[in-house]
A and B are shown apart, each in its own frame.
Chain A
Amino acid sequence: MPERKRLVRSFIVESLLFGDGDRLEDDTRFLEEGIVDSTGVLELVLFLEETFGIRVEDTEVIPENLDSLNRIERFLEDKTARVGSAAVSS
Chain B
Amino acid sequence: MASDTSLTADALKIDAERATNEICQALRSLLRTQLKRRGLVVAISGGIDSSVTAALAVRAVGAERVFGLLMPERHSAPETLPLSRCLAESLSIEYAVEDITAALEGVRFYERYDSAVRLAVPEYGEGWRSKLVLAPATGGAGYALYSLVAQSPSGRSVTAQLRLRAYLEIVATTNFKQRTRKMIEYYHADRLHFAVAGTPNRLEYDQGFFVKGGDGLADVKPIAHLYKTQVYQLAEHLGVPERIRRQPPSTDTYSLGQGQDEFYFGVAHRELDLCLYGLNRGASAEAVARATGLTPDQVRHVFRDVRRKRVATRPLHLHSLLVSAVPEIE
Residues of A within 8 A of B (CB): 31, 34, 37-39, 41-43, 45-46, 58, 61-63, 67
Contact = CB atoms under 8 A, between A and B. Distances in A.
A62 B141 contact: yes
CB-based closest 10 A-B pairs: A42-B164, A63-B142, A58-B161, A38-B144, A37-B312, A38-B143, A46-B164, A41-B143, A43-B164, A34-B311
A37 B311 contact: yes
B316 to A, nearest CB: 13
Contacts of A42: 145, 162-164, 167
Interface centre among A42, A43, A61 (most CB of B within 10 A): A42
B311 A63 contact: no
Contacts of B59: none
A45 B143 CA distance: 12
B5 to A, nearest CB: 31
Contacts of A58: 161
B308 interface: yes
Given A31-B308, A34-B311, A39 B142 contact: no
Contacts of B161: 58, 61
A38 B145 CA distance: 6
Nearest to B163: A42
A61 B145 contact: yes
Contacts of B143: 31, 38, 41, 61-63
A41 B145 CA distance: 9
Interface in B288-324: 308, 311-312
A67 B143 CA distance: 10
B163 A45 contact: yes
Contacts of A41: 143, 145
Contacts, number: 39
5 contacts: A38-B312, A39-B167, A43-B164, A46-B163, A63-B143
A31 B163 contact: no
Contacts of A63: 142-143
A62 B140 CA distance: 10
A14 to B, nearest CB: 17
Nearest to A57: B161
B208 to A, nearest CB: 11
Nearest to A63: B142
A47 B196 CA distance: 42
Q: Which of A38, A58, A61 has the most CB of B within 10 A?
A: A38
A38 B163 CA distance: 11
Contacts of A34: 311
Contacts of B163: 42, 45-46
Interface in B148-168: 161-165, 167-168
A62 B142 contact: yes
Contacts of A43: 164
Nearest to B164: A42
B321 to A, nearest CB: 15
A26 B165 CA distance: 28
Contacts of A62: 141-143
Nearest to A42: B164
